[in-house]
Amino acid sequence: MGATTLYHPVPLSVLRGATAYCGWKIGKIEQITSDFATTTAKYKLEIVDMPKNLSIYGAQIVAKQFQHCFAADITVNRVWQSKNGIWYAEIEACAGMTQESLIETDHVSHDFPF
């Protein structure tokens, strides 16, 4: 069996870097779904550490604070804590270009004055 090539609209190093910059530490990243046509992918992230013991405020506050780590192309769908006390987040990354928008830009006139 060969290796499976996955589509990532945003590099995983960007996810790790953005969260590290905000004081979060991410463990395992698991891709749930990916769709090249819509340039989106969903991921399950293991949250190893978060700033200022944020976990005491609950999942909704943790999700809102986690969202601050990312630009508009990454959305935090939900955050939860497992029975073992491990925090997880489900995020969705979107590159912003769909096949429809690529087709629309194909119809742009390329008449140059020179």
Spell out the domain ranges in the chain: 12-106
CA distances from 7 to 10, 12, 21, 43, 69 (A): 9, 11, 24, 12, 22
Chain segment 44-103, per-residue pLDDT in tens: 999 999 998 898 999 999 999 999 999 999 999 999 999 999 999 999 999 875 445 444
Q: pLDDT grade, residue 6 (50/70/90)?
A: confident
DSSP string for 21-70 = HTT-EEEEEEEEEEETTTTEEEEEEEEEE-GGGGGGG-HHHHHHHHHTTS
pTM of the model: 0.78
The conformation of residue 3, written as its DSSP 8-state character, comes to: P
Q: Which CATH code is given to the segment(s) 12-106?
A: 3.30.70
Cα(76)–Cα(62) distance, integer angstroms:
10
Nearest to 82 by CA among 52, 31, 45, 30: 45
Higher pLDDT, 76 or 38: 76
Cα(56)–Cα(62) distance, integer angstroms:
9
Q: Give the type of residue at 58.
A: G
Determine the pLDDT at residue 95: 86
Determine the pLDDT at residue 67: 96
Q: Which of these ranges, 35-39, 57-61, 102-106, has the smallest mean pLDDT? A: 102-106
